Amino acid sequence: MMDAVKTSSDRTPVLLAFPFRPFFLLTAFYGALLVGAWGAFLLAGLPLPLGVNPAQWHSHELLFGMVPAAIAGFLLTAICNWTGAPPLRGRALLALVLLWLAGRVAMWFSAMIPLLLVAVVDLAFLPVLAIYAARVLTRAGNRGNLPLAAMIGVLALGNLAMHLGFNGVAPSAGRIGEILAMDVIAVIMLVIGGRITPAFTANWLRMSGRDPAVVQRDQRLDAWVMASALLMVPADLVTGLPWLGGIVALAAASIAGWRLVRWRGWHARAEPLLWILHLGIAWVVIALLIKGVTPFLALPFTAWMHALGAGAMGTLILGVMTRVALGHTGRTLKLPTGGSWIYALVTIAAVMRLVAAFGFGDYRTLISLSAAAWAAAFILFLGLYWSILSRPRADGRPG
């Protein structure tokens, strides 16, 4: 994936000039490949060289493969804005990319590699990412963002739990790691989304000559959202009481939902790069609502997980990547022609997957439609954004 084009200031390949460039492309490529292969395995019997439970492999590669690549691309880019530190680039960035790739290869060919070695290789990426982020933030005195690095560390613990399950050390640890990851990623989305969504919306309203004050932001409410969402972790994993986890999830959904309403996203309905972020956070709220009522209504346990995965993660990842890729390459914040189909396709994928999880309609048809729409959304991102991410900035600046 190396591009021969160089930056104007040095000989660093463009794709290694800033973390968002390789990681966003890898996220899109892997998102299409993962779901496409899973759909082919599930519906057509495509053989996969897996040494682990296929369903858990699918979940693992979404939570600890695709999502961490997106997190790395965003976080390592945002850190530069937060601290003024230079970006991870060149050989150091390449090393981190290869570390992520090594984990994916190990997981895909786990039937051919000792599972202990698979674990060692795959477990390396998240701790390295967390330690690097923590060091940059600490050196800059930016301790307010250290919780994000800590959350990545907790996500690494979820990965460890899944590998303990894969290796037979603790068979039930796989589900624990899966739920821990879902909870932590929900928190990360609520925290990051809570920063960029209202800020971007207010800035757009200001530049459009409208009143940015209609977007109501409250740091205390942000703190309540994060605290309530974080409480899901002990409620789910420590108490062993499903009804308690449900109550905590309902509380988190209610607070996050109220905050979302206060952002008044309908004022940005004319700008796709903005309303997609509001929709992504809405999917988090929907997922937590479903999670909250599941113990009381005996809903399918995986329904909330698919609302969070196919809905929130897919939507927010594509929403953030489509915007950040434009802004950080010196281009106008305008979705490329045909880009709205990225959002339409990922929304179709999420709705179809959720309907299938609830058992409505023909399962195979719904899964087929969902997988095809999801893969198409990420392939379309690659098609529209490859030239943007692989070429120098439009304004001639480095990065």
Handedness of CA 245, 286, 222, 74 (dihedral sign): positive
Place of tokens 């996220």: 27
Domain enclosing residue 62, as ranges:
14-390
Handedness of CA 344, 60, 75, 391 (dihedral sign): negative
Give the pLDDT mean for 160-186. Answer: 95
Q: Which two tokens stand for residue 368?
A: 């087929």
Please say whether the beta carbons of 15 and 390 come within 8 A. Answer: yes
CA distance 100 to 274: 30
Phi, psi angle pair for 10, to nearest 5° = -160, -170
Classify residue 108: in a domain, yes or no: yes
- pLDDT at position 308, please? 98
**Number of residues that make up the chain:** 399
- pLDDT tens per residue, range 189-231: 999 999 999 999 999 999 999 999 999 999 999 999 999 999 9
Classify residue 4: in a domain, yes or no: no
Mean pLDDT, the chain, whole residue set:
94
- pLDDT at position 3, please? 36
- pLDDT at position 10, please? 63
Domain of 210: which CATH number? Answer: 1.20.210.10
Asked if residue 239 has pLDDT above 90, the reply is: no
Classify residue 157: in a domain, yes or no: yes
Sorted by sequence, the CB contacts under 8 Å of residue 211 that are 6+ apart come out as 205
The helix-helix angle for 173-207 and 242-263 (nearest 10°) equals 10
- pLDDT at position 357, please? 96
Q: What pTM value is reported for the model?
A: 0.95
The count of structural domains within the chain is 1
* Nearest alpha-carbon partner for 321 in 72, 13, 35: 72
CB-based burial, 337-362: b 16+ in 10 Å, e otherwise = eebeebbebbbbbbbbbbbbbeeeee
Q: What are the Cα distances from residue 308, in Å, to 280, 283, 314, 335, 364?
A: 9, 7, 8, 25, 21
Classify residue 2: in a domain, yes or no: no
- pLDDT tens per residue, range 248-278: 999 999 999 999 999 999 999 999 999 999 9
The DSSP-derived string for 87-107 is PP-HHHHHHHHHHHHHHHHHH
- pLDDT at position 241, please? 82
Classify residue 3: in a domain, yes or no: no
Classify residue 89: in a domain, yes or no: yes
Classify residue 396: in a domain, yes or no: no
CA distance 276 to 245: 29
Please say whether the beta carbons of 165 and 183 come within 8 A. Answer: no
CA distance 246 to 341: 35
Asked if residue 397 has pLDDT above 90, the reply is: no
Asked if residue 82 has pLDDT above 70, the reply is: yes
Please say whether the beta carbons of 94 and 16 come within 8 A. Answer: yes
CA distance 115 to 121: 10
Asked if residue 4 has pLDDT above 50, the reply is: no
Classify residue 165: in a domain, yes or no: yes
Asked if residue 293 has pLDDT above 60, the reply is: yes
- pLDDT at position 283, please? 98
Range of weakest confidence among 3-7, 98-102, 300-304, 352-356: 3-7
Q: How far apart are the first and last CA of the chain?
A: 17
Asked if residue 297 has pLDDT above 80, the reply is: yes
Give the pLDDT mean for 15-31. Answer: 97
